Structure 1
């Protein structure tokens, strides 16, 4: 059956990107496509090399990662923190290679080295007929994990569009091949329509979105700006919120996808309690494979008081 996709305020027609100013982007896309055709072990090796180069030369992102690791893992020695920073760049370098697999290859070929855990939690939540928010996180397997999960379930996705329109077109078209509907990050009407149809919608909250509609809930023991929209969506739609995560195996090529019991009670009527529960789930999953999280993001940029000194300095 042919999938139907909601029209978005984005241009995914490749004919619109013929002008020479798009040629550098096309070259980058061609490189990604070629790399995606390589054997997975070679891709992992190449991703490790890319990660190590970024660790050595992309000093601003390394600084952000060092700050985040120091804040979140104070129990580690300085040497252990440094190793985790380095390994995080390696994991995200591999994730960049996996992005090509998600966009340009059929992830079905990876199901033989993928194991799904706890799918019954999602099935039980859907049986209630109110839809499911699939609460994800920004792990290094972000796109590939999302593509792999659609081999086992039907899902829609909310995405934040790429700043480069051509890259956004490639990303959107790739996701449209995997997800039933690709919703814009602010398309709440579309989200509620999907939930009303008892759909599963991939949704992530674990980034810093500024001061609007947030509470400062603990995340690794740090008061962290956390959006309250999840509670409002769940209250209005009566949907279930099912946490899930996906990780790359450390010892050999392979992946694990985890579905967890729905948050309950949720919403509780207390935004701080709800945000804390969400952050605790994400923190617990990060601790499964700490290097496979997007530590390069300034997660603690927004402080409880605007006069509080920032963690990241001027870098």
Structure 2
């Protein structure tokens, strides 16, 4: 079950004022026409690109590892496009939380809904598999309009942001639970719910981890998808929200369930998911979340793909 909401008056202290201001600005931007939102969102991304910083360096390194065939100028153009996409994600998060269902319906075209309908008709729910694209939150909102969906999420360190995020997701999802609540996920599947799930960030701890290729680079990868599918008796249905060019809106693409999943080897299943994600990322590479350290070393003897960036982080952690 979802936790009880925390009253917002508890977040009126001065330390929360900057976040309240930012949330207020985003809330106002949600009222703009979509064309204006595109201009503002991409402008936010361009400003972030010019300011640079650690995340820009991480994204640049990830693009270098994932697309070695591109020359430096092409990768820099892709990096700028990625930051414009990140800027749009700020607006899209606000749309996800505060836009009406009617407006959401006008923004998106859907393909493959029959795969969801078949899964629900079979009575086993479904694991709605996707990746960490910049359209991540909005894609979840698109999906919850169509079927009963439970959402997994990672708690935020800022309690105000955590509360606003949880309220926004629960506005449309049947329930929202933290990604470590395995029992809640299995219970949702067994009660014929769809569960939004993105296992593609670096995962180095515990038994549900394996080092498998991602864009040809060894990457610690979550293997729990196999266990969830087996325990819940649910199909794994890939879906991908895509931001269309210009001001055309979005397309929600729902693919057929993965055949023969899970297999006998969770690592092989994880590699299969990575290959699927690679195929989809290559269709719109600027829309994937490259600011995350995806290629972390697997252990003490693993290659340090981020060099000084990773070393600075280790020094801060030990200080």
Same fold (TM over 0.5): yes
Q: After TM superposition, give the deviation of residue 128 of structure 1 in Å.
A: 2.4
1:249 maps to which of 240, 244, 248? 244
Aligned residues: 308
Q: Deviations over 1:178-199 (max 9, x none)?
A: 1011111111111111111011
Distance 2:248 2:142 in 1: 14
Aligned residues of 2:97 and 2:171 also touching (Cα < 8 A): no
Task: Tell me what 1:234 maps to.
Answer: 229
Q: Say whether residues 1:223 and 2:224 are aligned partners.
A: no
Partner of 1:192: helix, strand, or coil?
A: helix
Aligned residues of 2:155 and 2:162 also touching (Cα < 8 A): yes
Q: After TM superposition, give the deviation of residue 304 of structure 1 in Å.
A: 3.6
Point out where structure 2 has 5 or more consecutive residues left out of the alignment. 310-319
Distance 1:138 1:164 in 2: 21
Partner of 1:262: helix, strand, or coil?
A: coil
1:142-181 mapped onto 2 (5 Å cutoff): 142-181=136-175
Aligned residues of 1:51 and 1:91 also touching (Cα < 8 A): yes
Q: After TM superposition, give the deviation of residue 306 of structure 1 in Å.
A: 2.2
1:205 maps to which of 181, 199, 204? 199
| Structure 1 runs, 4 residues or longer, greater than 4 Å off | none
Distance 1:21 1:266 in 2: 47
C-alpha RMSD of matched pairs (Å)? 1.5
Q: 1:7/1:153 Cα in 2 relative to 1: closer, same or farther (>3 Å)?
A: closer
Aligned residues of 1:136 and 1:243 also touching (Cα < 8 A): yes
TM-score, scaled to structure 1: 0.93
Point out where structure 1 has 5 or more consecutive residues left out of the alignment. 1-5
Q: 1:28/1:225 Cα in 2 relative to 1: closer, same or farther (>3 Å)?
A: same
1:128 maps to which of 122, 126, 134? 122
Q: 1:20/1:81 Cα in 2 relative to 1: closer, same or farther (>3 Å)?
A: closer
TM-score, scaled to structure 2: 0.92
1:54 maps to which of 48, 62, 65? 48
